[in-house]
Amino acid sequence: MSDIQIILDAIEKFLDKEVRPVARDLELADTYPHEIVQKMKELGLFGATIGTEYGGMGLNAETYAQIVERVSAVWMSLSGIFNSHLIMCAAVEKFGSPAMKETYLPRMATGELRGGIALTEPDCGTDLQAIRTRAVLRDGEYIISGTKQWITNSVEGNVLAVLVKTDWNVEPRHKGMSLLLVEKSAGYEARKLKKLGYRGVDTGEVFFDEVCVPESQLVGEAEGRGLQQILSGLALGRINVAARGVGVARAALDASVNYAQVRQTFGQPIGTHQAIQIKLADMATKVEAARLLTGKAAQAYDSGLRCDLEAGMAKLFATEAAMDNSNEALRIHGAYGYSPENVVERYYRDAPLLVVGEGTNELQRIIIARQLLERNPA
């Protein structure tokens, strides 16, 4: 048995034993899963893609995507807890100074330090160049002021990679943006936000009221590279969201296939009716296609090549598959699917996040088109 299969089997056992029995109650109560997170630490998930030299597992994106699919098929919220964290870690590992890497990555790999990326704000999401959070360098310290919104791991976590404006006058605007690594002990405050789905994981509004951090907390050697640094990490993030889409789409399909064989109408299982069979066929095809696109994007990422096109296609198709399959699952289950006692109701609430998170699907279409034109000049 390969090392990868051993890891995947361990994930499956963890999900069956620790997550599946409690996911529904924790999700409905919007309760943070402290005990599950502790188990995730022990499994090494917070260091999944961090290099082995820093104590991580050093997994490639293809294996990581397989883990995310499995986790998301049981409880999608859990994948967000380590995905946002690992995007932050990727930025530190790729662009941080040697001292920053040695100081932070080993503690991030164990989950002692857990966090995410603080990008979006009340007045900006997809258009990150419109951020207003600023950081002024004074006497060897950055003084940070502003508000971030919809930030995963901001309440329960203890460190964030914060995208800030360090120069308001430079053009183009992205050259005035920098990335700072900020521990909660520096003094920022976070307030948990309520959501339609994606419950259990903490998503918060973060307030920086002249929070001071040493100049050494700048990611990279110079200001003005923050947007490029975070976009590099978002490629992995979009592969993660695509894998989440595969997981939710597969879970909706599995629930529907099972229900279609036990629910009867007119004296026979509903799975014998052509109307249901057509739905199941379309759902299954979308799952397989989404998984293939996600795998291709992960392979492109692992090759070190720019993968905007592949990650955008995977994210677009897989998350739309999750939306479609969760909708069809609810229709197949009828009134039972509308009840919180049934798991498909959760899929129906979780899927919408995927089409707007990590860059809306409308943005993905624009990225795909631009990359097609750039890669295929007339």
Q: How far apart are the C-alpha atoms of 255 and 262, rounded to whole Å?
A: 11
Strands 189-192 and 203-214: antiparallel
Is it true that the peptide bond before 172 is cis, omega within 30 degrees of 0? yes
Average pLDDT of the residues in 71-89: 95
- What stretches of the chain show up as alpha helix (H) in DSSP? 3-14, 23-29, 34-43, 61-95, 98-110, 226-262, 274-302, 308-333, 343-356, 361-375
Q: How far apart are the C-alpha atoms of 99 and 19, rounded to whole Å?
A: 37
Q: How far is CA 101 from CA 91, 104, 125, 145, in A?
A: 10, 5, 28, 25
In order of their start, the domains of the chain are 3-110 (1.10.540.10), 116-225 (2.40.110.10), 228-375 (1.20.140.10)
Q: Which two tokens stand for residue 228?
A: 């490029």
Q: How many CB atoms lie within 10 A of CB 77?
A: 28
What is the per-residue pLDDT for 233? 79
Q: How far apart are the C-alpha atoms of 251 and 69, rounded to whole Å?
A: 10
Looking up tokens 């050494």 gives 216
For residue 7, is pLDDT > 70?
yes
Q: Which two tokens stand for residue 24?
A: 């529904």
Q: 259-317 pLDDT, tens per residue?
A: 999 999 999 999 999 999 999 999 999 999 999 999 999 999 999 988 999 999 999 99
Q: Which residues contact 316 (CB under 8 A, 6 or more apart)?
A: 361, 364, 365, 368
Q: Residue type at 197?
A: G
DSSP labels for 117-174? EE--BTTBSS-GGG---EEEEETTEEEEEEEEEEEETTTT-SEEEEEEES-SS-SSGG
DSSP labels for 14-74? HIIIIITTTHHHHHHHT---HHHHHHHHHHTGGGTTS-GGGTS----HHHHHHHHHHHHHH
Taking the model in full, what pTM does it have? 0.95
Q: How far is CA 80 from CA 14, 116, 133, in A?
A: 17, 10, 24
Q: How far apart are the C-alpha atoms of 125 and 246, rounded to whole Å?
A: 24
Q: 318-368 pLDDT, tens per residue?
A: 999 999 999 999 999 999 999 999 999 999 999 999 999 888 999 999 999
Q: How far apart are the C-alpha atoms of 305 and 369, rounded to whole Å?
A: 18
Q: How many CB atoms lie within 10 A of CB 336?
A: 14
Q: What's the mean pLDDT when you consider all of the chain? A: 95
Estimate to the nearest angstrom the gap between the alpha carbon of 27 and the chain centroid.
Answer: 17
Q: How far apart are the C-alpha atoms of 136 and 134, rounded to whole Å?
A: 7
Q: How many CB atoms lie within 10 A of CB 327?
A: 18
Query: In DSSP terms, which residues pair with 116 in a beta bridge?
Result: 160
For residue 2, is pLDDT > 90?
no
For residue 1, is pLDDT > 70?
no
- The single residue of 93, 121, 205, 358 carrying the catalytic annotation is 358
For residue 191, is pLDDT > 80?
yes
Residue 177, CA atoms < 13 Å, CB-side half-sphere? 22
Q: 10-40 pLDDT, tens per residue?
A: 999 999 999 999 999 999 999 999 999 999 9
**Cα dihedral angle (13, 17, 21, 24), rounded to 10 degrees?**
-50
DSSP annotation of 140: T
Does residue 358 carry a catalytic annotation?
Answer: yes
